[in-house]
Amino acid sequence: MNQDLLRIVDSIARDKNIEKDSLFNDIETALLSAAKKFYGETDDVTCTIDRMTGEIQVRKEGILIDYREFGRIAAQTAKQVLIQKIREDERGSIYEEFADRQGQIISGTVARSDGPVLSVNLGRCEGFLPRKEQIPGETHQVGERIRCLVLEVKDAGNQVKIVLSRSHPDFIRRLFELEVPEVQERIIEVRALAREAGYRTKIAVSSIDTKVDCVGACVGVRGSRIKNIVDELGGEKIDIVRWNESSQVLITNALKPAEVKEICLNFELNRATVVVDESQLSLAIGKRGQNVRLAARLTNWDIDILTPEEYSKGLDDLEKALRTIEGVDDKFMERLVTLGLINLLDLDEVGKEPLIKELELSEELAEKLVVTAREAAKRVQEEDAARKAAAATEAAAAAEAEQTTEGEESTEPAASAETAEVGSAKEVEATAPAADTAEAPRVAG
């Protein structure tokens, strides 16, 4: 029994997570390479290793030979082949391990920084965290322990390339699974998620158990659960939205903390027109449009935010244009609004087909409505452009007049000073002859 061989195979198998049978096959292949190196290229050499005893048998033309006689060169060949085979097995083992963990969170240590790319030590191998997969504004030091999402695993020839991410939306999803047991147990389900890494995330959740408050469970007692997630993300804001099958309710929840007055859905254009008070407009849109942008991605609706005045103007323009067509009355206008057609551009964009299908209009009438809306929309746009241009011209003229007035005011003190200076000079000239005249008699005497 070859105990040394069995012990070495067992040790390598445990250290590198390789199947023992694969290692025995590698040794057999290496010995065959050595035999062929010693005897020359031949197909009549075989090698077998007993998996239980570790006994090695090398045969040539069926005759048992002593592999110890192969010599140093053949032994070197066997060594190189064995090393190569073990590396291939280890690479395959690593690929299988991390391919199974793709989409999961893994912990590692920052090994080094290769420019914008971080190399993360994952134990048996290294992963790569590209700049675009890092959270904006986040910095990591060598030796720091970090958690990442296994985004992609590639077999890149002589190595396994593991791409990590901290900016992917699924990183948030997995963090909730780790921090909120109800999410892990599928009592609470993450229905949708929209993220702008480093700034804000909106996550919609629902509960299959009516006794479990999905939002409260995700927040935790005194915000303990959500705080752990926010800390992991470096302070990124997280909005937990209560999911609802009604698109109107879901959009209302997604736009919070803004208060919504009215929502009109256009299913043909997949567009939601949301009406909010003027005081809520900036809150609904968010900083640089972030709130409405994330809400749109979360709900999968194109969201337009309007004030009541803008909403009413769109309806008024639409009604004014269509009232000239026979058959258009208040009831017809209500049916248009029900379809989500609340302004001229909506009617022009949606076309005649939905009008024929949903409102059961004739093709001629539907075509007439669309053409009328298109022409009226063009006219309204031209009027708005002219009004804005006139306002801009008026503002520019007012600014120019104000600058002229300020310029005149600034020149008045200078003119007064000049007058005073001229007056002083004249006084000097006037008094000088008197002095000369007064001294003349004294000189003469």
CATH number at residue 193: 3.30.300.20
- Tell me if 435 is assigned to some domain: no
- Tell me if 290 is assigned to some domain: no
Are 61 and 139 in a shared domain?
no
Are 79 and 118 in a shared domain?
no
Residue 110 to residues 7, 48, 116, 117, 377, Cα–Cα distance (Å): 34, 44, 13, 11, 58
Are 83 and 122 in a shared domain?
no
With contact defined as beta carbons under 8 Å apart, do 135 and 166 qualify?
yes
Are 59 and 114 in a shared domain?
no
Are 30 and 46 in a shared domain?
yes
The whole-angstrom separation of Cα 162 and Cα 121 is 11
The 3-state DSSP class for residue 424 equals helix
Say which residues have a Cβ less than 8 Å from residue 194's Cβ, sequence separation at least 6.
Answer: 169, 201, 202, 203, 294, 295, 297, 298
Single out the residue in 98, 118, 144 at which a domain terminates: 98
List of E strands, 243-293: 262-266, 271-275
With contact defined as beta carbons under 8 Å apart, do 124 and 92 qualify?
no
Are 110 and 31 in a shared domain?
no
Q: Say which CATH number the domain at 156 has.
A: 2.40.50.140
Q: Say which CATH number the domain at 32 has.
A: 3.30.1480.10
Quote the number of domains for the chain: 4
- Tell me if 131 is assigned to some domain: yes
Are 336 and 387 in a shared domain?
yes
Single out the residue in 48, 68, 98 at which a domain terminates: 98
Q: Which domain holds residue 174?
A: 168-243
The H-or-E segment that residue 28 falls in is helix 20-39
Are 146 and 199 in a shared domain?
no
The 3-state DSSP class for residue 2 equals coil
Are 17 and 60 in a shared domain?
yes
Say which residues have a Cβ less than 8 Å from residue 71's Cβ, sequence separation at least 6.
Answer: 38
User: Residue 354 gets which letter from DSSP?
Assistant: H
Are 37 and 88 in a shared domain?
yes
pLDDT score of 426 = 41
Number of Cβ within a 10 Å radius of residue 231: 10
pLDDT score of 438 = 37
List of E strands, 252-343: 262-266, 271-275, 302-306
- Tell me if 266 is assigned to some domain: no
- Tell me if 277 is assigned to some domain: no
Structure tokens at 102: 């793709």
Are 161 and 181 in a shared domain?
no
Are 93 and 119 in a shared domain?
no
pLDDT score of 437 = 35
DSSP string for residues in 126-191: EEEE-GGGSPTT----TT-EEEEEEEEEEEETTEEEEEEESSSHHHHHHHHHHH-HHHHTTSEEEE
pLDDT score of 407 = 66
Single out the residue in 77, 98, 119 at which a domain terminates: 98
Collect the ranges in the chain with pLDDT lower than 50. Answer: 414-445
- Tell me if 22 is assigned to some domain: yes
pLDDT score of 432 = 40
- Tell me if 133 is assigned to some domain: yes
- Tell me if 61 is assigned to some domain: yes
